[in-house]
Chain A
């Protein structure tokens, strides 16, 4: 177990080092999310919505930004391994679970960086007031975990396919709808209700989805990776 964690950490550090030298995935995610954010800011703006509509519309818009930026960048970590031929070397040396762990951590880190940049901008540009910040932050972190776990596993599946670009959203979108609905509804509650417990059902949904998705991914990944 210790050696597996160590190997997973090595895969994560390798991906971070590569990303810091190329900045391809981070640039893609940030550029996409900031473009959508600016678009949403102009279209909806802080004042064009009735106050009672703002929590619902802003919650949907926030998660659309995060969801589609995840779709635009998270497949890259696996796809580039297959496209450049490094996947062979990885298969010969690394335990599959360590590869999945490293890629999952990397995708989660990417999403967290995007959140740190995009969410404050979103809140400011759309004057989106949050009544329950603890619930809001919990939903963001759990939502990122759900997005990262599902996207990472789907990316591993599509990495060997010929039409990766179209296959990834086709598989990932239906899979991610349940946590997305939970995150949107929970965020709407966080915007209006200061109580953490008011949104606890949605927190549970995200925890359950991430737990089930991560377990399934670790069980199935060796077959996906080796085939």
Chain B
């Protein structure tokens, strides 16, 4: 498992947001991305996820010994959680997870999903009430469940412990540990030293451009 970014950069209206950046993250490693507000951490993570096209450069993904995949082809093996990710407010946590499994062609195991939600510290009722009725912290835990429920090879976490209490941070830490322990790649973009402490290496975007 490997993620390779080569001369990756993104600009808007002639203003460079980040880059050019070249880095690799091997399976079993967690890379932290730090930098001031506006340095481009979220944009970099979205570019890696293929939600934003890079202005220059490329991101490629290697799984086992197969061919290199681009950000679109790797989506079934990618997990992403971020502040501007939202799940369907009218659906329950379980309904959301079931829907995203179904549209991506994954089998959904409701019992396993319930266990997963409980392991992330969500109360039992949170699985079956509309997610719009959950607290901000509970929705953040649900986003982490969304990111990890398909057991991704590449896990991208943007401000993963935002709005979480100490117990929630421990859940984030165990997610990153699980991800690296099974040989997956984790990338954590954050300003929180606790989040960055989970990474085995850090890429500092500094002040940005």
Contact for A226 among B72, B100, B104, CB less than 8 A = B72
Check if A48 is an interface residue, CB within 8 A of chain B. Answer: no
Q: Which one of A83-91, A184-192, A199-207 is at the B interface?
A: A83-91
Report the Cα distance A84→B131, complex, angstroms.
Answer: 13
Interface centre among A11, A85, A89 (most CB of B within 10 A): A89
Check if B112 is an interface residue, CB within 8 A of chain A. Answer: no
Q: Are B146 and A6 in contact (CB under 8 A)?
A: no
Q: A14-B99, A92-B75 are in contact. Are A85 and B85 (CB under 8 A)?
A: yes
Q: Are B51 and A11 in contact (CB under 8 A)?
A: no
Closest chain B CB from A13 CB (angstroms): 8
Q: Are B103 and A84 in contact (CB under 8 A)?
A: no
Q: Which one of B28-36, B61-69, B89-97, B114-122 is at the A interface?
A: B89-97
Q: Which one of A15-23, A115-123, A136-144 is at the B interface?
A: A15-23
Report the Cα distance A8→B105, complex, angstroms.
Answer: 11
Q: Are B51 and A91 in contact (CB under 8 A)?
A: yes
Q: A7-B105, A17-B90, A85-B86 are in contact. Are A93 and B95 (CB under 8 A)?
A: no
Main secondary structure of the interface of A (DSSP, over half): helix
Main secondary structure of the interface of B (DSSP, over half): loop
Q: Are B103 and A7 in contact (CB under 8 A)?
A: yes
Size of interface on A: residues with Cβ below 8 Å to B: 24
Q: A7-B102, A93-B103, A98-B103 are in contact. Are A85 and B90 (CB under 8 A)?
A: no
Size of interface on B: residues with Cβ below 8 Å to A: 26
Closest chain B CB from A201 CB (angstroms): 40
| Chain A, range 79-115, C-beta contacts under 8 Å to B | 84-86, 88-95, 98
Check if B78 is an interface residue, CB within 8 A of chain A. Answer: yes
Report the Cα distance A98→B146, complex, angstroms.
Answer: 20
Q: Are A84 and B105 in contact (CB under 8 A)?
A: no
**For B89, what are the chain A residues with a Cβ–Cβ distance below 8 Å?**
84
Check if A47 is an interface residue, CB within 8 A of chain B. Answer: no
Report the Cα distance A10→B89, complex, angstroms.
Answer: 17
Report the Cα distance A89→B82, complex, angstroms.
Answer: 10
Q: Are A86 and B49 in contact (CB under 8 A)?
A: no
Q: Are A22 and B102 in contact (CB under 8 A)?
A: no
Report the Cα distance A92→B75, complex, angstroms.
Answer: 6
Closest chain B CB from A83 CB (angstroms): 10
Q: Are B95 and A17 in contact (CB under 8 A)?
A: yes
Check if A162 is an interface residue, CB within 8 A of chain B. Answer: no
Q: Are B90 and A94 in contact (CB under 8 A)?
A: no
Interface residues of A (CB under 8 A from B): 3, 6-7, 10-11, 14, 17-18, 21-22, 84-86, 88-95, 98, 226-227
Extra inter-chain contacts (10) besides given A89-B146, A98-B103, CB under 8 Å: A3-B105, A6-B102, A7-B104, A10-B99, A22-B90, A84-B89, A90-B103, A94-B104, A226-B50, A226-B72
